[in-house]
Amino acid sequence: MSEIRFPLPDVGEGLTEAEIVQWRVAPGDRISLDQVFVEIETAKSLVELPSAFEGTVSELLVEEGRTVDVGTPILVIETDAASGMSSPDAAPAPSEAPVAAPAAPVAASASAAGDGGGAVLVGHGSSGPGQSRRRRHPAPGGAHEHLAAPPPPPAPAAAAAPAAPAAPRPAAAPATAETPRLAERHDDGVPVIAKPPIRKLAKDLGVDLSRVSPTGPIGDITRDDVIREASQASVFRNIQTPEVPSDRETRIPVKGVRKAIAAAMVQSAYSAPHVSVFVDVDATRTMEYLKRLKASPDYAGIKISPLLIMAKAMLWAVRRNPTVNAQWTDDEIIVKHYVNLGIAAATPRGLIVPNVKDAQDMSMVELATALEQLTLTAREGKTQPAEMQGGTITITNIGVFGMDTGTPILNPGEVGIVALGTIKQKPWVVDGEVRPRFVTTIGGSFDHRVVDGDVVSRFVADVASIIEEPALLLE
């Protein structure tokens, strides 16, 4: 047996520390290659770590709730000396496993893996020089046929001893993280098939899975099915008023997401001079346009909301006013000719701002899909650090909370952030007559070091013009 101490890896660019949220294994458990063994929380995301080794868990070195530096050993694994650490390159994927006997394993010593230096999250160690990937399906008689283990001799046609009676079928295994539970049933009596992460999402969104129409390949409920069932605002709606706690005070440690949010907001508020503007907009045509999109076959299965039109409006306005899509440094202003569109998302773990990379190159359908996936991933707490880096300008959709407008704080490193307020019917003057129209308020904050009032005003007016008349996007 050999002992391996697994260090906390850097799961993002420049990560220095992370909190151990939940262990998925315990001492004495058998752990396999790529098995998720712990959840950690970085500055703004929850990350599942896969094992780079296989063996038996000997010791958990860090208790849950503790924050440790990158490189700190967190787990001890005992591996068989004969096999050591399995080579991920040599092991065929489950879907690619040959029917015949598998190729002979390539042994790699645990000590060699440990000498690789830095921690590796994906790839599980550094391959030695000259190591190459073995062919998984060598052709019979081919040049690499000697790499495969000889097939076992065929079983004799008849056994000497009489055949034993067939063993009874084992009872069904209990549901696991990879096995959907079949507890509930739909109204038509069909069992509800949904994996545990989907069930957790449904619970968080207040969705009854028995009322969800499944679209998965085996009749299972997918994440998209749950999202379509839940309205966006239901995540934040208080269903019940909680009782007053018996304790006079509650002390919440400042760490993780809350610590990162506080540092970013202080940095932005006290380093960039904010200027804010607001405008009321008749969004009736936007609401009519959304109805047509929802009825279109091209958007079947895609969540459509005013945020989609707002995102397109931002991209159009950036093209007309490029200096709002910039970055301030002490020496120069860097104008970005691409748009990594940030979407401020309120999650159970706090506010995060993931962004859609190169949104300027996306079609309407592609952008709608990207926004839906971004929102869903953020709600599940699965947003990765790389997805929150490199943003160039941001939208904050405060309308989902029923707010008309606000004065948002800039995401650090960006020049502009635009707030979309709630869209609701109000009296509006049209052709000299007061009529009920869908009205919203668009506001935004900007770095006054980079953009002057005229640029800010033109940009917000351009965004408002698209919300008022989406047909302008056809230009």
Residues with a catalytic annotation lie at 448
Question: How far is Cα 291 from Cα 299, in angstroms, rounded to an integer?
Answer: 11
Is residue 464 within 8 Å of 442, Cβ to Cβ? yes
Positive or negative, the CA dihedral 13, 19, 24, 28 is positive
The DSSP call for residue 188 is T
Query: Which helix H or strand E contains 38, and what residues bound it?
Result: strand 36-41
Closest CA to 86 of 164, 34, 45: 34
β-pairing, 416-420 vs 30-31, is unpaired
Question: How far is Cα 267 from Cα 295, in angstroms, rounded to an integer?
Answer: 45
CA–CA distances in Å: residue 124 to residues 6, 118, 119, 137, 203: 11, 11, 8, 23, 34
Closest CA to 230 of 437, 379, 25: 379
Is residue 254 within 8 Å of 343, Cβ to Cβ? no
Distance of CA 389 to the CA centre of its chain: 13
Tokens, residue 133: 């990937």
Is residue 384 within 8 Å of 297, Cβ to Cβ? no
Question: How far is Cα 442 from Cα 278, in angstroms, rounded to an integer?
Answer: 6
Distance of CA 10 to the CA centre of its chain: 18
**What b/e sequence results for 180-193 when a residue is b if at least 16 CB atoms lie within 10 Å of its CB, and e otherwise?**
bbeeeebeeeeebb
Query: Which helix H or strand E contains 22, and what residues bound it?
Result: strand 17-23
First to last CA, the chain: 69
Closest CA to 286 of 263, 304, 266: 304
Angle at alpha carbon of residue 426, lines to 421 and 427, rounded to 5°: 140
- CB-side neighbour CA atoms (13 Å) of 1: 8
Is residue 329 within 8 Å of 314, Cβ to Cβ? no
